[in-house]
Structure 1
Amino acid sequence: MKPNLAIRMAWRLVWQIVLSSILAIITFYFSIIVLERMTRNNDIHRTFFKKLYDMFGETPLLIFGVFVLFTVYMVIFNWRRFSYYDQLSRSVEHISKGHFNDLIPVKQNNEVSYLADNLNSLVLELKRSLDEERKAEQTKNELITNVSHDLRTPLTSIIGYLGLIEQDRYRDEVELRHYVQIAYSKAERLNVLIHDLFEYTRMRHDVIPLNKQAFNLVEMMNQLLVHYRLSLESAKMKGKLISNVGELTLMADPDKLVRVFENLLSNAITYGYTGGKVEIYLNQYEESAVVDIVNYGEAIPAADLPHLFDRFYRVDKSRAENGGGTGLGLAIAKGLVEKHGGSISVTSDGDSTNFRVRLPLS
């Protein structure tokens, strides 16, 4: 903790005044002795100093001499500080022109160095704020670009197929129904994207209310597997729940957490179908419930793992129109888990991909 600068400056000033006064008196005293010896055998010098004594008087001359010497000593003691003030001023002027990578040198151990240190902290904070502002602007531009692309792709297909129908450019009713089915599926995709965008925006602005209630997480995951039974069978996969406890009671919003686990389970089915199974592990570690959703399909590249929960980030293999999601699901899942005070992570190797969700127990 830094000392009180006002007290420090006051003590420093008192110390300088006292020391300067003592040195001035001593210096003046020895100067008089030296001058008396110099003028003892010199009539001109003796006459000159006698006239000074006669003109000003002995006491005022003594006071004047001590004051001059006191001023000289005070300037000497503060000269380094005056130079540092000048350097500080030039450094601040240099930084004010936008050179935020240059900091003010901290050389002395006094109140001026504390000022320089505080100014450096201010500059670093300002630089951090500017960097965050630039990053936010870049993120906003990327968001607009990604949203425009993802909205335009299904919308173009809808307009195209409805245009064919409107122009009667189909051979028979079978082809007509085929065009309608494609337009409908694209419209559904568009609806999912808009819903995810709305949910993501609400989550980012922290306006999603949590309707917390006590429920059994083990029972929820069992129901989720039943709900996804047909999806698992269609992908020729098997789902299995493995738990070493019969009950894990959470005080949370079950609807929001169902959204999280539905997203993770859906991803496991979509991208891990080659492994033939999805396993859900439920465990309790200390005061937390831990859910591991593991699939045994193709591994996620290591370069993609750190960005998997970024909004609109999709691994290359999921870019395909039929298999790719909106790129917001995992970002929304992470936001909902963190809103509950938990955490979500992912690991992937050649054998399996594991999404782990840790939630505090009630």
Structure 2
Amino acid sequence: MNKRIKLNVKEKGVLLFEGIGTFLLFQIINIILIVISDLFYNNENFSNLNHMFSLLNEDLSKSTFWVIWFFFGLVILIELVISIHMMIKSYRQFEVYKVEAELIQIAAGDLNHKINLKVNKRLQSVVDSVNLLVSNTNKHIAEQKKSEKSKDELIANVSHDLRTPLTSVIGYLGLIESNNYSDLDQILKYAHVAYKKSLEMQNLVNSLFEYANVEHATSTLNLTQFDMAQMLDQLSADFELEANRRGMEIIVNTKPNKIEMLGDTEKLGRVFNNLITNAFKYGKGATHLWLEAEKTSKEVIIQIANNGQPIPKDSLSHLFDRFYRVEDSRSKETGGTGLGLAIAKSMVKVHGGTIAVTSNEERTAFIIHFPNSEPKK
């Protein structure tokens, strides 16, 4: 909360001197004018004029007397207002000095410093602008640091995920190269393992390329008009065999039955593929997979949900981080690069939408909000 500036003893003295001194100066000027007027009135050279004034004085009524005192009081009031104005002007000058001192501290490199002063309206707008500038600068610096840290983590994660299968590839091919095998079947076994590990590396590289492409907006959207309800039906048909194999039933619900949208169907298809595949891999014990869409006046809301094992609460806020996986170990059973949800989030973002996740004992749901982009007819 901003506070009024505090003046020291010297500054208060200057302020009082400015106001009281100005008012006293006016009174001295008034006294001088009265003396001059008196001298002028009693001068013998103006005797005829004095005689005329004396005749006028005899005719002065009480109302005229009070009029004269009114004007005299008005003059005193004007002088008092001017004196107060001078004090206010001096006080505002002190405000400027205080703000300048704060600015010097910021200019010296203390970007965590905030100007917590309550000053006059015009200067307050400058103070607020400076505080906003410092705040945005700090935010930009924090984002840069976060970006640098993120790059370091990216390099570390990529190195880890590439080194593991690459070590296997080199190891098994090395056995073949050094003739360290007993028969053709063993050669084929080594070659098969090396091939599978090579596919893992290819999958990681492709995922990295796709993530970087979407995250840095180097890819353009190929917008077309499509029916979201029809897309969900198609996804249900595509994954029906896999769902049956896992003992799951896919249920599609859309409101209304036809939901027209504008979007890049290839990228949106990748989003839903990632979410459905994610449900198959991590929704342990799930018996149902729901693909739901609802259209409102402002947006289209899509849910990909399953009734499998819930996601731990401390993992929910990290699910869309690059390379993050819920399990503590990098499971060979589930596999994956840890980039699927990060890619899904980026693709939703370039469509102007948002994605979030909720999870409890009943349901784990990925909820996507797209702005209503139905073409005008």
Q: Same fold (TM over 0.5)?
A: yes
Q: Report the equivalent of 2:31.
A: 30
Q: Which runs of 5+ in 2 are unaligned?
A: 1-19, 36-82
The amino acid that maps onto 2:192 is Q
8 A contact 1:318–1:324 mirrored in 2 = no
2:320 pairs with 1:309: yes
Distance 2:89 2:132 in 1: 26
CA deviation after TM superposition for structure 1 residue 156, in Å: 1.7
In structure 2, the CA distance between the partners of 1:206 and 1:29, relative to structure 1 (3 Å rule), is same
Secondary structure of the structure 1 residue equivalent to 2:173: helix
- Residue 364 of structure 2 corresponds to residue 353 of structure 1: yes
Deviation of residue 237 (structure 1)? 3.1
In structure 2, the residue corresponding to 1:232 is in which secondary structure?
helix
Q: Deviations over 1:195-254 (max 9, x none)?
A: 111111111221221112222223322222332234334434333334454322222211
Corresponding residue for residue 4 of structure 2:
none
Matched position secondary structure for 1:316 = coil
Q: Is the 8 A contact 2:303 2:368 kept in 1?
A: yes
**Structure 1 residues 39-50: aligned runs within 5 Å:** none
- Which residue matches 2:218? 207
Partner residue in 2 for 1:97: 108
* Bigger mean CA deviation after superposition, 121-130 or 24-33: 24-33
**1:91 counterpart letter in structure 2:** E
The structure 1 residue matched to 2:179, chosen from 168, 175, 182, is 168
Tell me, in whole angstroms, the C-alpha distance in 2 between the residues paired with 1:292 and 1:107.
Answer: 49
Question: Pick from 236, 249, 268: which aligns with 1:257?
Answer: 268
Identify the match of residue 166 of structure 2 among 151, 155, 163.
155
Report % sequence identity: 36
Q: CA separation of 1:350/1:175 partners in 2, compared to 1, >3 Å: closer, same or farther?
A: farther
Once the two structures are TM-superposed, the CA of residue 77 in structure 1 deviates from its matched residue by 5.2
1:108-154 superposed Cα distances (whole Å, 9 cap, x missing partner): 32544443333223222222222222222222222222222222222
Q: Is the 8 A contact 1:236 1:273 kept in 2?
A: no
CA distance in 2, matches of 1:270, 1:140: 28
Who is 1:120 aligned against? 131
What is the letter of the counterpart of residue 337 of structure 2? T
Candidates 215, 227, 233, aligned match of 1:222: 233
Q: What secondary structure, in the 3-state scheme, does the structure 1 residue paired with 2:201 have?
A: helix
Q: Which residue of 2 aligns with 1:340?
A: 351
Q: TM-score, structure 2 length as denominator?
A: 0.72
Residue in structure 2 matched with residue 266 of structure 1 by the alignment: 277
Match of 1:133 in 2: 144
Q: Is 96-105 or 331-340 further displaced after alignment?
A: 96-105
C-alpha distance in structure 2 between counterparts of 1:182 and 1:21, whole Å: 96
Equivalent of residue 249 in structure 2, options 233, 238, 245: 238
Q: Is the 8 A contact 1:154 1:187 kept in 2?
A: yes
Q: Cα 1:78–1:216, aligned 2, differ >3 Å: closer, same or farther?
A: closer
Q: Which one of 153, 157, 161 corresponds to residue 142 of structure 1? A: 153
Distance 2:245 2:173 in 1: 30
Which structure 1 segments of 5+ residues have no match?
1-18, 35-71
Asked if the contact 2:293–2:303 (Cα under 8 Å) also holds between the matched residues in 1, the reply is yes
Following TM superposition, by how much is the alpha carbon of 1:290 offset from its aligned partner in structure 2, in angstroms? 3.1
The one-letter code matched in structure 1 to 2:232 is: M
Q: CA deviation at 1:278?
A: 2.1
Q: 2:188 aligns with which of 173, 177, 182?
A: 177
Amino acid at match of 2:27: I
Letter in 1 for 2:265: P
1:246-275, Cα deviation, whole Å (9 max, x unpaired): 322222211111101110111111112422
Separation in 2 of the partners of 1:341 and 1:200?
A: 17
- Aligned residues, how many? 309
Question: Out of 325, 328, 331, which is 1:320 matched to?
Answer: 331
- CA separation of 1:87/1:319 partners in 2, compared to 1, >3 Å: closer, same or farther? same
Amino acid aligned to 1:126: T
Q: 1:133 to 1:276 in 2, by over 3 A?
A: same
| Partner deviation per Cα, 1:285-308 (whole Å, 9 max, x = no partner) | 345433322222221111111221
**Whole-Å Cα distance in 2 between the matches of residues 176 and 229 of structure 1?**
37
1:349 Cα deviation (Å)? 0.7
Conserved 8 A contact 1:248-1:361: no
SS at match of 2:167: helix
Contact 2:236–2:250 (CA<8 Å) still a contact in 1? yes
Amino acid at match of 1:143: L
1:43 is aligned to: none
Structure 1 Cα separation of the partners of residues 139 and 106 of structure 2: 15
Shift in alpha-carbon separation, 1:89–1:21, aligned structure 2, 3 A: closer
CA contact (8 A) 2:92 2:120 kept: no
Partner of 1:275, secondary structure, is coil
